[in-house]
Structure 1
Amino acid sequence: KLFLFIVMCCIASVTTFAQENKWGAGINIGYGTDISKPFIGVRAQYDIIEQLSIAPSFNYYFKTSEDIGYGEEIDYNYWDINVDLHWNVLHGESFKLYPLVGLTYMHGKASYEGESETDGWVGANVGVGAQLNLGTNWCVGVEAKYQIIEGGQFVPLATIMYRF
């Protein structure tokens, strides 16, 4: 009987855990001030507990070209990967306000006349954000964070996510 009771408690706790913690997936749009270009990206979010969420994302910055004279250009491509931890300081049924900290990897590539050079930078993110639930499955959010990497950059962004 004790074993059966323990098994029932474990099943109940797993079921409760699965109902309270939600996944989300969505799209980011934003701007990187050091790169001076907008980006579009994808994001996932998992609520570890009510007060903590983890949010990995991938962002692709729109390609830029720089005229170096004589009709020649250098093309620049950038993307970044982020994993941020949100501390949901203020949270309710329809909203969350949070500071965030995380890690980032920025990748850059410069191309000129068939030749290219790439570089990557590892850094940290620090910022704040807010999320507003639109019904039971949709939410929108905004964030403002600073990427502490070589040169550093301020990154404001907006996101829309489907929560399941």
Structure 2
Amino acid sequence: MKTKKLIFTAFLFFAGLVVSQAQIDTRIGAELAYGTEIENLGIGANAEFGVLDNLSISPSFIYYFPKEEGPIKVNWWEINGNVNYYFIQDEGFHLYGLGGLNYTNVSIDADIDYGDFGYSVDSSDGRFGLNLGAGANMDLGSNIMPFAELKYVIIDGGQLVLAAGVKFNI
């Protein structure tokens, strides 16, 4: 539990520091994601803080919907801290590469019943990994900016994550 609090506190501190330093576009948003390792959909929140004309810092959080396979229930979430480098920033279309850090937490609960006998198993594990990928923003000329992102999380087993959503200029 202390690890979760420490990571969350560090994430908030880092995000606050970036907001105070950003002088370029700042965006917050929501996303729908699919992870190939968990093979399930997730919902998330993201932000993007401009640092330079073609560089931004982008923290995000994705919570994958719980997955049940028989008596086993899997919960999976991830926190990401990425750097986006914009290769193309044409009017209406922005293409970027991304790289960053990932923390993934997986917990498994199992309630197994054998007639008069039964047992419960509860386990959780968290791992750090690296993100590599690319994304695109569609600038519609308003405060709403749809985006799509594809990243590979380099971690035990690895996971490809496809995400799409909207960012709002603030």
TM-score (norm: length of structure 2):
0.79
Give the Cα separation in 1 of the matches to 2:50 and 2:93. 13
**Which among 16, 21, 46 is matched to residue 43 of structure 1?**
46
Q: Determine which structure has more spread, i.e. the larger CA radius of gyration.
A: 1
Give the Cα separation in 1 of the matches to 2:87 and 2:141. 21
Give the Cα separation in 2 of the matches to 1:106 and 1:41. 14
Q: Which letter maps to 2:149? A: E
Instruction: Map residues 93-104 of structure 1 onto 2, 5 A cutoff.
Output: 93-104=91-102
Q: CA RMSD in A?
A: 1.5
Give the Cα separation in 2 of the matches to 1:63 and 1:138. 29
SS at match of 2:139: strand
Post-superposition offset of 1:94? 2.5
Give the Cα separation in 2 of the matches to 1:132 and 1:46. 17
Partner of 2:140 in structure 1? 134
Partner of 1:5 in structure 2? none
Instruction: Specify every segment of 5 or more residues in structure 2 that has no aligned partner in the other structure, as ranges.
Output: 1-20, 112-119
Q: After superposition, what is the alpha-carbon deviation per residue over 1:61-105, rounded to whole angstroms, capped at 9, x for unaligned?
A: 0101111xxxxx011100000011111011134221111101100
Count of aligned positions: 142
Partner of 1:90 in structure 2? 88
Partner of 2:149 in structure 1? 143
Give the Cα separation in 2 of the matches to 1:30 and 1:108. 16
Q: Is 2:162 the counterpart of 1:160?
A: no
Q: Is 2:57 the counterpart of 1:54?
A: yes
Q: Is 2:74 the counterpart of 1:76?
A: yes
